Amino acid sequence: MEITDTLKKECGSCTKCCEGWLKGNINGRKMYPGKPCHFIEIGKGCGIYPKRPEDPCKTFKCGWLDIEDMPEEFKPEKSGVIMHYKNLGELKYWTLLKAPNNPTVELLSWAVIYARSRNENIVWYINDKSWWLGDDMFCKKMIEEHKSV
């Protein structure tokens, strides 16, 4: 008997990563907080999907899609929060990004437990103030980064 992957998550109508919550440059057109991707139809999808660029479009990894056991209610179009993996130099970490909501207690608790149970670092934002948990090297780097702000 062949088992098929019928539970594979899909973006569907979720377009949060393109709605102007993340930074990127798509075919020479900038996207940043407050300015959505030029090619997106919010709630419908990408107007250049077959020809979208490798970076950032194809390389972006939404946590909700990547984490098999992340609950349905944490999908970005439902929660208003994007969870994704980032790099800070050689250090990697999860981030919970307001899109447009602060993470709920339930989402934040789930994400912190998920990340720390895997010895991964995590950053989240509440009302544009950042918070983090992680290993000593990561916390030291985050403190250094925030001193320069």
Does residue 1 have a pLDDT over 80? no
The answer to whether position 6 is within a domain reads: no
Is position 35 within any domain?
A: yes
Residue 44's pLDDT band (cuts 50, 70, 90): confident
Task: With CA atoms as reference, report the closest residue to 84 among 109, 117, 105, 111.
Answer: 111
Regarding whether 75 and 122 lie in a shared domain, the answer is yes
**CA dihedral angle for residue 134, residue 140, residue 145, residue 146, rounded to 10 degrees:** 80
Average pLDDT over residues 92-120: 96
The residue count of the chain comes to 149
Rounded to two decimals, the pTM is 0.88
**Higher pLDDT pick, 92 / 7:** 92
Nearest to 83 by CA among 74, 91, 92: 74
Domain holding 85, by residue range, is 61-149
Q: What is the pLDDT of residue 149?
A: 57
Considering the domain architecture, whether residues 50 and 81 belong to the same structural domain is answered as no
- The counts of H helices and E strands in the chain are 4, 8
1 inside domain:
no
101 in the same domain as 65: yes
Residues 109 and 144 in one domain: yes
User: Does the pLDDT at position 11 exceed 50?
Assistant: yes
Q: Using the predicted structure, report yes or no on whether residue 24 has a pLDDT greater than 50.
A: yes
Question: Are residue 125 and residue 71 in the same domain, yes or no?
Answer: yes
Please report which helix (H) or strand (E) contains residue 45, including its range.
strand 45-46
Pair (67, 122) in one structural domain: yes
Mean pLDDT of the chain: 91
